Amino acid sequence: MNIITIGGDRYVSLYDLTGRLGVEHSYDIYLGRGTLYYRNHVAVYTTGYSCMLIDGRLEKDTIPVVRRDGDVLLPLSLAKSTIDSFLEDREAIARGNTLIIQELRGPAIKRDSEKIPEKRDRITFIIIDPGHGGKDPGAIGRGGIKEKHITLSISRYLVTSLKSRLKGISIHLSRNNDRFIELAQRADMGNNKLKKNTNGIFISVHVNASLSTRISGFETYFLSQNPTNEEARNTAALENNVIVLEDEALRKKKYGDIEYIEARMITTQIQKESSMLAASVQKGLDGKIKLFKSRGVRKADFYVLRGSLMPAVLVEVGFITNAREAQYLLKNDYQKNIAQGIALGVAQFIQKYNAMIK
C-alpha cells in the first residue's frame, strides 16, 4: 500500500486498504461516517475526527481523517492500527513510502486484539453543554420559567468555577447564548477535539420535570441501554424528545441503527469512566446542596451522551415542576452552589483519573 504524504502528514488511501484486505466498507454521506467490516472486526471513522473506534478501542492520531477526490484518507497510525486489529496474526509496517503487511514477528502468540488495553490520555479539555436552547425551551415550570435559561446560567458559573480549580485544562461551552443545537452535534464538539495524547470530559446540564409536583432533588446520569428504573427511562425520553425539532430527513440516520451500533461499541472502559465521573459529580453536589434530596447516580439512554467518545455525564440539577425547588433554581446563589458542587466532583474525578493512568 502506498503511503500518501500531504504537507508532511502521512495517510493511507481507504480505497487502497479495503481493496487489498477485502474489507467491506459503508459510508454515510450525511454524517461523514464510515464503517469497515472484516470477519468479526469492525472499525468506525468520521471525517474530520483524529480518532477511530477499532474493534471497540479508541485510537487517536494528531491529524484528522480527510476526504479527497472521492476517496477517504486515513492517518497512517490509524490505518496501521486497523490492519493490525483486523488481521490478528499479521502486522503493518511502514517502510519508506510503503505500508507492508507481514507475519507477526517474535513469540508465536496470536494477538488477541480485545485484550490490548486501551491507552488512556490525561484530561486536557472539558465540554460543558447547557441543555436545550433557541426554539427548544426544555422543561417549562410554573410562571413560564424555562429550563434553557437555567442550564445556560449554571453552565456559565460552572466554567468560572472549573477555571479557578483546574489549570492547564481548556473549558468550552457548547453554547454561550440562546440558540438551538442538535443533540448529535453537541457530542461532536467534544469528539472532534480528541487527538493523540488528549482526552476530554463531557458534561450536559439539565433541569428535570415530573408529573408529580412533589418530586424534587438532583441526580447524575451516565449512558446505558439499560435504565436504572422507569423514572430514569422517562427522564431520558423527556430529554430525547427534542429531536422532533431537528431536521426530519437526518433524524433517522442520526439516532437510528448506526448511532445505536456505535453507542454499543463505546468501550466498556469509557462507560466505566463515565460511571466514575457521575459518582464523583453527584458526590460533589451532595456536599453542596442540603436543601433538596440527592437522588443518586442513575443510568439511561440519553441521545446526547450516545456518540461521546470520552467520559460523559448528564446532570439533572433539580425539578422545575416542584414549586420550591424551581424558586431556588432561579436564584444566582443557588445556581453558583450547584456549579461549585459539579466543579468539585469534576476536579476530584480528574485527580483520580490522572493518578490511575500514570
Rounded distance, CA 46 to CA 249, Å? 20
Task: Considering only the stretches 88-96, 110-118, 131-139, 267-275, report the one whose residues sit in contact with Zn ion under the rule CB under 5 A.
Answer: 131-139
Q: Choose which of 206, 254, 295, 298 interacts with Zn ion (CB under 5 A).
A: 206
CB 310 → Zn ion: shortest distance, Å?
Answer: 21
Residue 198 or 308: the one with the smaller Cβ distance to Zn ion is 308
Cβ proximity to Zn ion, 146 vs 206, nearer residue: 206
Which residue pairs from 285-291 have beta carbons closer than 8 angstroms and sit at least 24 positions apart in sequence? Answer: 285/218, 285/220, 285/315, 285/317, 285/338, 285/341, 285/342, 285/345, 286/341, 287/341, 287/344, 288/337, 288/338, 288/340, 288/341, 288/344, 289/218, 289/337, 289/338, 289/341, 291/328
Q: How far apart are CA 311 and CA 276, in angstroms?
A: 9
Residue 131 as a binder of Zn ion (CB under 5 A): the answer is yes
Q: How far is the CB of 237 from Zn ion (least distance, A)?
A: 11
Q: How far is the CB of 221 from Zn ion (least distance, A)?
A: 11
Q: Which residues, at least 6 apart from 280, have a Cβ–Cβ distance to it below 8 Å? A: 345, 346, 348, 349, 352
Q: Which is nearer to Zn ion, 63 or 181 (CB)?
A: 181
220-259 residues near Zn ion, rule: CB under 5 A: 239
- Looking at 135-143, 195-203, 326-334, 337-345, which segment touches Zn ion (CB under 5 A)? 135-143
Could you tell me the smallest distance in angstroms from the CB atom of residue 223 to Zn ion?
Answer: 15
Closer Cβ to Zn ion, 77 or 208, answer by number: 208
Hey, which residues does 218 pair with through a beta bridge?
A: 294
Q: Specify the residue, 126 or 315, whose C-beta has the smaller distance to Zn ion.
A: 315
Q: How far is the CB of 337 from Zn ion (least distance, A)?
A: 20
Burial class of 6 by CB neighbour count within 10 A (0 to 12, 13 to 18, 19+): exposed
- CB-facing half-sphere around the CA of 73: CA atoms within 13 A: 16
| Among the residue ranges 107-115, 124-132, 184-192, 292-300, the one whose residues contact Zn ion (CB under 5 A) | 124-132
Q: Which three cell numbers stand for residue 142?
A: 410554573
| Residues that contact Zn ion, how many (by CB under 5 A) | 4
Of 131 and 318, CB closest to Zn ion: 131
Rank residues 32 and 137 by Cβ distance to Zn ion and give the closer one.
137
- Piece of the chain touching Zn ion by CB under 5 A; list 100-108, 133-141, 275-283, 286-294: 133-141
- Nearest residue (beta carbon) to Zn ion: 206
Cβ nearer to Zn ion, comparing 138 with 141: 138
DSSP 13: E
Q: How far is CA 314 from the centre of its chain?
A: 11
Stretch that binds Zn ion, among 76-84, 89-97, 134-142, 211-219 (CB under 5 A): 134-142
3-state SS track over 99-153:
EEEEECCCCCCCCCHHHCCCCCCCEEEEEEEECCECCECCCECHHHCEHHHHHHH
Asked if 304 contacts 186 with a C-beta cutoff of 8 angstroms, the reply is yes
- Give me the least distance between CB of 205 and Zn ion, in Å please: 8
Least CB distance to Zn ion at residue 313 (A)? 14
Rounded distance between C-alpha atoms, residue 323 and residue 201, angstroms:
32
Nearer to Zn ion, 82 or 321 (CB): 321
138 in contact with Zn ion (CB under 5 A):
yes
Non-local CB neighbours of 52 within 8 Å, separated by 6+ positions: 43, 44, 45, 58, 59, 65, 74, 78, 81, 82
Q: How far is the CB of 28 from Zn ion (least distance, A)?
A: 27
Smallest separation (angstroms) from Zn ion to the CB of 142: 17
Residues that bind Zn ion (CB under 5 A): 131, 138, 206, 239
